[in-house]
Amino acid sequence: MDSSVAATSWPDHGERRVDDVLAIQRAARKGGTRALLQWLARRTGARIALSGPDDTPLAAGDDVHVDAEPLAGAEPSALARRVAGELRARALTTLSVVEQDVSVVAVGLNGGAGDRPGPVLTAVTAGPAPEHLPRLLADASSALDLCWREERAETQRLRLELAEARNREAVLHLLMNGHVSTARQVADVLGPDLADVIRYHVVATAPDLKPALARRCREIRPDAWVIPCPVYDDHIAVLVPSEPGTPPDAPSTFATAVTAATDECLVGVSDVVGLRDAAVGYGQAVHALVTARTRAQRWALFSHHPDPALVIGAPVRDWARQFLAPLRTLVPQRLQDPDSIELTVTAKSWLGFSSGATSLLKIHRNTLAARLRHIERLLDLDLDRLADQSLLALALRTETGPQVPGTPPGTRADALHALDELLRRQAVVDWALRLLRPLDDAPDAARTLTAWLRHDARLTPTAQELSLSLTAVRKRLARIEELLDRSLLRPPTDRHELWLALRALRLAEDSPA
């Protein structure tokens, strides 16, 4: 670029300078550092860049560089870095250097912390620098300094929030893995303390709204634990302290407050549970989200009562203890092998969240697969089959207390036969009829659900049997979710309870009158 042309393009008029200052302010307000650098590049035709105290490039306006004439001589970026370093070394505010027909103008910002120097704004042009380039850079430096400070503070805040979220997520992992005492120790450091009795709340919102909504949740309940969901990007887990003895149908003041604060969320609320029942409470809250979708208030309590284990009654506990005996009496052969507790937690997490268990437990998918195969060998199960999943899910939900001495481990066939005897009870049949009653007037939905469960909750064979497309099957299942108020497609689902219900009804039909 010819220097005479560059000079004549910079008239020394106060009015033009005022226009430039106003344009600088507009660019800073609308787009911050990046937009301001781009405006400078367009306005000056120079190569504009901002570098940190250690010469690290912070931002540049090169993507809109308008000087078509290549810069000869020294490599522009290297020369700009050298001039910026000299400006810092000499503690200057501005510095202009011409070398091999290339000019560099450097202006220091005031954004350093303490005695540390701030960033340096540089402009590189061909030939002598235009007369008013230093003045324009100086005019822009104040707004640029403010933008950079604000953006740096925001970056640091986000880093702190991320570190805080990961620490709190670690506490949730400890609770999910049954390490309550360790979780309490970590919580004591991070604060607030973990209450003995809590209600899990899962707040669903758009991923880009999560940070602001998480802050709002903390403002509403400072004594609650607010944790990003480790499985779903659009979920926030909130552990709200509760009083012992709180009835299951007691309204949630937290859910009411959150949904009143924003229209961009849904809230699912669990029963009142103890810390040791973290997986149960979390699963209940996610289930309640399905109900919340249809509620005008946009929040809902977990309402899937009664639990099938309670309907079956006390005998199911003995059945579960016998069924899980090989797992409960497991002695790891090697130090690195999972023990009974780890396998139990893995099974519960996988049954609830499927492949999402890897995120929940922070384990590799190969580790998850190996643990599931181990459980299959111990309990004589095929966990690819929905029937076997349902057996294991029911057993894990109902098995309590120590292993009964001398109880012989049975085979899968023995366990299924013993469970069938329990499912034939009239109370269980009545429960199944109530659960599936909403499908009485929807024969296509009932047929779809039956086929889907018979094919181990797999879409492709279900679609083939019904001569439907995969999309049509998904739509029918979504409709069934609405009718039954149950989750089918997104874990945690109710497929295991529904399998038990259909099994009970089938056994009742096959029983002699």
Tell me what the mean pLDDT of segment 464-482 comes to: 96
Q: Is the pLDDT of residue 337 over 80?
A: yes
171 located within any domain: no
- Convert the pLDDT of each residue in 232-244 to its tens digit: 899 999 999 987 7
Same domain, 311 and 395: yes
pLDDT at residue 129, rounded to an integer? 81
Q: What is the CATH number of the domain that holds 127?
A: 3.30.450.40
> Over the chain, what is the mean pLDDT?
85
- Convert the pLDDT of each residue in 291-321 to its tens digit: 898 899 999 998 877 788 888 888 899 899 9
In the chain, the number of structural domains is: 4
Q: How far apart are CA 400 and CA 426, in angstroms?
A: 24
Q: Which residues pair with 199 in a beta bridge?
A: 240, 272
For the ranges 114-128, 208-222, 457-471, the lowest mean pLDDT is seen at: 114-128
Same domain, 182 and 289: yes
213 located within any domain: yes
pLDDT at residue 200, rounded to an integer? 94
Return the structure tokens found at 234: 């659009």
Same domain, 273 and 367: no
pLDDT at residue 92, rounded to an integer? 87
330 confidence band (pLDDT: 50, 70, 90): very high
- Looking at the chain, the number of H-run helices and the number of E-run strands are 21, 10
Return the structure tokens found at 482: 């609405």
Q: Is the pLDDT of residue 189 over 70?
A: yes
Of the residues 390, 412, 434, the one at which a domain ends: 412
In three-state secondary structure terms, 155 is helix
DSSP letter assigned to residue 161: H
49 located within any domain: yes
- Convert the pLDDT of each residue in 115-149 to its tens digit: 567 889 999 988 888 878 888 998 888 898 889 88
CA–CA distances in Å: residue 143 to residues 12, 122, 123: 22, 15, 16
Map 263-290 to HEC letters: CCCEEEEEEEEEHHHHHHHHHHHHHHHH
Q: By percentage, how much of the chain surpasses pLDDT 90?
A: 42
Q: Is the pLDDT of residue 467 over 50?
A: yes
Same domain, 308 and 295: no
Same domain, 325 and 257: no
Rounded-to-5 percentages of helix, strand, coil across the chain: 60, 10, 30
Q: What is the CATH number of the domain that holds 396?
A: 1.10.10
Residues 6 or more apart in contact with residue 225 via CB below 8 angstroms: 168, 171, 187, 192, 194, 237, 238, 239
Domain that includes residue 50, residue range: 3-153
Of the residues 412, 442, 462, the one at which a domain ends: 412
For the chain, give the longest Cα–Cα distance. 107
Q: Are strands 94-99 and 225-228 parallel, antiparallel or unpaired?
A: unpaired
Query: Can you list the alpha helix ranges (DSSP code H) found in 354-467?
Result: 357-361, 365-379, 386-398, 412-423, 426-436, 443-454, 459-466
For the ranges 78-92, 371-385, 451-465, the lowest mean pLDDT is seen at: 78-92
Of 410 and 324, more confident: 324
DSSP letter assigned to residue 353: H
Query: Buried b / exposed e across 480-503, counting CB within 10 Å, b at 16+?
Result: bbebbbbbbeebbbbbbbbbbbbb
Same domain, 340 and 398: yes
- Convert the pLDDT of each residue in 6-29 to its tens digit: 333 445 556 677 888 888 888 888
434 located within any domain: yes
- Convert the pLDDT of each residue in 376-429 to its tens digit: 999 999 999 999 999 999 999 886 443 444 444 456 677 778 889 999 999 999
Owner of token pair 């000087």: 67
pLDDT at residue 412, rounded to an integer? 67
Same domain, 181 and 289: yes
In three-state secondary structure terms, 237 is strand
Of 403 and 205, more confident: 205
Tell me what the mean pLDDT of segment 224-231 comes to: 89
Q: Which residues pair with 123 in a beta bridge?
A: 48, 105
Output the pTM of the full model: 0.70
Tell me what the mean pLDDT of segment 474-502 comes to: 92
For the ranges 33-37, 107-111, 239-243, the lowest mean pLDDT is seen at: 107-111
29 located within any domain: yes
Map 91-147 to HEC letters: CCCEEEEEECCEEEEEEECCCCCCCCCCCEEEEEEECCCCCCHHHHHHHHHHHHHHH
172 located within any domain: no
278 confidence band (pLDDT: 50, 70, 90): confident
167 located within any domain: no
Q: What is the CATH number of the domain that holds 475?
A: 1.10.10.2840
Q: Are strands 299-301 and 266-274 parallel, antiparallel or unpaired?
A: parallel
The torsion angles phi and psi of 205, rounded to 5 degrees, stand at: -155, 175
Same domain, 133 and 7: yes
Same domain, 10 and 137: yes
Q: How far apart are CA 487 and CA 289, in angstroms?
A: 9
pLDDT at residue 9, rounded to an integer? 47
169 located within any domain: no
pLDDT at residue 61, rounded to an integer? 59
Same domain, 322 and 347: yes
Same domain, 194 and 281: yes
Closest alpha carbon to 275 in 369, 141, 365, 172 = 172
64 confidence band (pLDDT: 50, 70, 90): very low
375 confidence band (pLDDT: 50, 70, 90): very high
Q: Is the pLDDT of residue 67 over 70?
A: no
pLDDT at residue 14, rounded to an integer? 63
Same domain, 328 and 280: no
Q: What dihedral angle (degrees, nearest 10) is formed by the CA atoms of 179, 180, 183, 188? A: -150
Of the residues 287, 302, 317, the one at which a domain ends: 302
